[in-house]
Amino acid sequence: MKKNLVNIIKFLIFFFISAALFWYLYRGQNVTELIYTIEHEVNYYWILLSLFFGLLSHISRTIRWNMLIEPLGKKPRTINTFLAVMVGYFANLALPRMGEISRCGVISKYEGISFSKLVGTVVLERALDIIMLLIFLLIASITQYPIITRFISNNPDVSEKLSNIFASANTLYVLLVLSLIIWFLRKRFKNTALFIKIDRILRNFMDGLRTIRKLEKKWSFIFHTVFIWIMYYLMTYICFFSFGFTSNLPALAGLTVFVMGSFGMVAPVQGGIGAWHFMVIGTLLIYLPGISNIESLSRSFALVVHGAQTGMIIILGALSVIALPLVNKNNISTAKPTSIDE
């Protein structure tokens, strides 16, 4: 009961932050004009194509995660891994970062794999994602340096969002340091029940982290790691062709908008709502300062693109929640769910 209350409070806090930022961005928007733009000035063919690229990224992430799980001596069914990934994205719309735990719980339940080992593989995945985001940031910074510096100078609070990326990386370092401390103190406390439980969890967690050293198809793993982020980029850039005012922007402009939007997704709000819009709108305003009504058009772009991507997550996530027990109804008895310390 207490845990549910805490989750409800967290949800409400993040929701109100999202709602406040969203209201701030759209408070002066002419609703009639916005609706007209969405109904008559958007080529939804390109939006649908962008969602296809998004689906490819989710499939690729599924395959990559399976590659990290297999060195643990388990080979989960691809359909279960895909459904778990989509449930994870769906859960992130309720509480930020809840998705990582949710998808580990799904695989643990239906495939009988150690929960803490799965968490180790997901932390490793997130570390790789941070590296890829920083690589894309480096490319954008080199090729679009004036744009990025102008955006940061116009929005000083962005530096805080950038620090969140490194803070996410520091989470891994903290876990590693805690593991070393417990390892050094193991002789003194090794016979206590609490230490035995913590030690088992950390050993399983480290097993999950070490799976990258045991990969059989390393080049395939690297391919999927790069492919996922190329698909993420195309999800944003291809939407430029849906709107007349962005259709002539170069691919590097799409890269900058994608990178800045990715930092908006790091913000502790559900699905990047509000934060993603803020970053994307601010970047487009710098690229297209001479167009009349550019602020309204940029708001329309952010609303349509983010709305389509979020809609896909809601639909696929909800269907995944329904599909999981149906897909596993014949083999759920053979998969022994594990506790966190197994």
pLDDT band at 333 (very low <50, low <70, confident <90, very high): very low
pLDDT band at 337 (very low <50, low <70, confident <90, very high): very low
pLDDT band at 127 (very low <50, low <70, confident <90, very high): confident
Indicate if the pLDDT at residue 165 is higher than 50.
no
Asked if residue 145 lies in contact with residue 230, where contact means CB atoms within 8 angstroms, the answer is no
Indicate if the pLDDT at residue 191 is higher than 60.
no
pLDDT for the residue numbered 278: 85
Phi, psi (deg, nearest 5) at residue 94: -90, -50
pLDDT band at 72 (very low <50, low <70, confident <90, very high): confident
Radius of gyration of the chain (CA): 22
Report the chain's mean pLDDT, rounded to a whole number.
Answer: 79
d(CA 136, CA 130): 10
pLDDT band at 248 (very low <50, low <70, confident <90, very high): very high
pLDDT band at 156 (very low <50, low <70, confident <90, very high): low
Lowest mean pLDDT among 43-47, 230-234, 302-306, 338-342: 338-342
What number of other Cβ atoms are within 10 A of residue 164's Cβ?
A: 13
More confident residue, 146 or 182: 146
The pTM for the full model equals 0.80
**Predicted confidence (pLDDT) per residue in 204-219, tens digit:** 566 555 677 778 888 9
pLDDT band at 3 (very low <50, low <70, confident <90, very high): low
Element (H or E) spanning 126, and its range?
Answer: helix 115-143
pLDDT for the residue numbered 171: 54
